[in-house]
């Protein structure tokens, strides 16, 4: 019998700035190492975006990067961006632009503790990725009492319905493993009755509609939490949370806060997901203070590659990566400085690679 043909996957690599230049090559190594075990064949497309690209070319997101992602790639990995803290004419965040250009309407961030943790945590934050205050429509004007700055907070039923469906689909998958799952809508509709109110109502409508028809979410329950009390609950009782769905800003804040529960931003992955495309993206920033020193933690980028694979339909390969990473963290002998260790990026990657066999 002839051997099955290898599945070829073309992955765009966008390291960006700072430690992105170190952790994205690390994730590539892991993908290359896991491929033979699952009859996969990866090829890679090197692409540019970020602050350094803006300084060199005058644009943070070259059109060629977008076109090659759209026309040549099955998925992508994005590193980190060193965005300026003050306004720079002509500059805007390339990852925000990519999310819009590729209709990557969901940012999915799993937050999971390793085996043996005192408080086992296994939750997923599903963040709407295209609107809210991140539409970046701001203005400043003068008044008799001084300047006033305003920003548009845009929430649509369309985007809220999409993110609700994504959250419930993720919960349904988790329910297949655990028997039950829960989705918590996070909002501030007690104050923002129109914007957050629309988000809340749209997400609930997805659940209510399904319960009346296909019952796809039969093993999924639904509750909700005001965002300020959600922060309290996240830090006091994170083990009670399962899938959290939130508008863009709240989801961003909760995601970074949740990283502290498992030890470091260097551990937490994410993926920007649309219908048919995913970009894995570690949650950490470009970390200019350690860029180039060889001690950046590659785990978040490696796990982001695994999340990307999950959304591409390769759950078994993703699972092998998770197992290898987790085994090293549990053992604790080869960990980077952010986790209290002394291992270099290269040493952490080598430890993961040997566990993939």
Tens of pLDDT, residue by residue over 16-32, are 999 999 999 999 999 99
- Domain boundary, last residue among 262, 288, 323: 262
Statement to judge: residues 124 and 254 lie in one domain: yes
- Domain boundary, last residue among 234, 262, 290: 262
Statement to judge: residues 113 and 100 lie in one domain: no
Whether 49 is covered by a domain: the verdict is yes
The answer to whether 10 touches 44, Cβ cutoff 8 Å, is yes
- The residues assigned a catalytic role are 134, 188, 228, 252, 256
- Domain boundary, last residue among 213, 233, 262: 262
Statement to judge: residues 125 and 72 lie in one domain: no
As a whole number, the mean pLDDT across the chain is: 93
CATH number for the domain that contains residue 4: 3.40.718.10
Supply the pLDDT for residue 228: 96
Statement to judge: residues 221 and 280 lie in one domain: no
Statement to judge: residues 123 and 168 lie in one domain: yes
Across 8-17, 260-269, 296-305, least confident range: 260-269
Statement to judge: residues 183 and 123 lie in one domain: yes
Statement to judge: residues 171 and 278 lie in one domain: no
- Between 225 and 357, the more confident residue is 225
Statement to judge: residues 114 and 257 lie in one domain: yes
Q: Which domain holds residue 172?
A: 108-129+156-262
Statement to judge: residues 212 and 323 lie in one domain: no
Q: Is the pLDDT of residue 33 over 90?
A: yes
Q: CA 200 to CA 196: how far, in whole Å?
A: 6
Statement to judge: residues 119 and 201 lie in one domain: yes
Confidence of residue 264 (pLDDT cuts 50, 70, 90): confident
Query: What is this structure's pTM?
Result: 0.90
42-46: long-range pairs with CB below 8 Å, 24+: 42/8, 42/9, 42/10, 42/11, 43/8, 43/9, 43/10, 43/11, 44/10, 44/11, 44/12, 44/13, 45/10, 45/11, 45/12, 45/13, 45/72, 45/73, 46/13
Across 111-125, 282-296, 342-356, least confident range: 111-125
User: Six-digit token pair at 12?
Assistant: 């765009």
Supply the pLDDT for residue 144: 97
Statement to judge: residues 6 and 44 lie in one domain: yes
pLDDT digits (tens, 9 = 90+) for 87-120: 889 998 899 899 989 999 999 999 998 876 777 8
Burial class (CB in 10 A: 0-12, 13-18, 19+), 145: exposed
Length reported for the chain: 357
Whether 345 is covered by a domain: the verdict is yes
- Structural domain tally of the chain? 2
Q: CA 12 to CA 190: how far, in whole Å?
A: 42
């Amino acid at each position: 019998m002839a051997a099955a043909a290898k599945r070829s996957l073309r992955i765009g690599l966008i390291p960006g700035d700072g430690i992105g230049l170190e952790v994205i090559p690390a994730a590539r190594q892991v993908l290359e190492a896991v491929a033979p075990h699952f009859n996969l064949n990866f090829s890679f497309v090197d692409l540019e975006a970020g602050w350094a690209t803006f300084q060199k070319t005058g644009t943070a997101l070259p059109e060629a990067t977008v076109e090659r992602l759209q026309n040549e790639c099955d998925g992508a990995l994005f590193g980190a961006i060193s965005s300026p803290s003050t306004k720079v004419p002509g500059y805007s965040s390339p990852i925000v632009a990519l999310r819009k250009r590729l209709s990557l309407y969901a940012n999915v961030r799993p937050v999971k503790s390793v085996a043996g943790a005192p408080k086992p945590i296994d939750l997923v934050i599903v963040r709407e990725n295209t609107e809210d205050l991140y539409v970046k429509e701001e203005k400043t004007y003068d008044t008799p009492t001084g300047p006033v700055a305003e920003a548009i907070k845009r929430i649509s039923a369309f985007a809220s319905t999409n993110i609700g469906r994504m959250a419930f689909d993720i919960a349904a998958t988790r329910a297949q493993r655990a028997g039950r799952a829960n989705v918590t809508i996070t909002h501030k509709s007690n104050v923002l009755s129109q914007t957050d109110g629309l988000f809340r109502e749209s997400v609930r409508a997805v659940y209510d509609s399904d319960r009346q028809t296909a019952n796809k979410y039969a093993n999924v329950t639904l509750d909700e939490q005001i965002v300020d009390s959600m922060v309290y609950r996240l830090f006091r009782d994170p083990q009670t949370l399962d899938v959290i769905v939130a508008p863009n800003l709240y989801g961003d804040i909760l995601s970074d806060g949740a990283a502290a529960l498992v030890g470091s931003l260097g551990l937490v992955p994410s993926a920007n997901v649309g219908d048919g495309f995913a970009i894995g993206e570690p949650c950490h920033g470009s970390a200019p203070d350690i860029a180039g020193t060889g001690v950046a933690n590659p785990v978040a980028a490696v796990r982001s590659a695994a999340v990307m694979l999950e959304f591409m339909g390769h759950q078994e390969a993703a699972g092998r990566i998770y197992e290898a990473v987790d085994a090293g963290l549990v053992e604790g002998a080869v960990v980077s400085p952010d986790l209290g260790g002394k291992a270099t990026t290269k040493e952490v990657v080598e430890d993961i690679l040997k566990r993939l066999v």
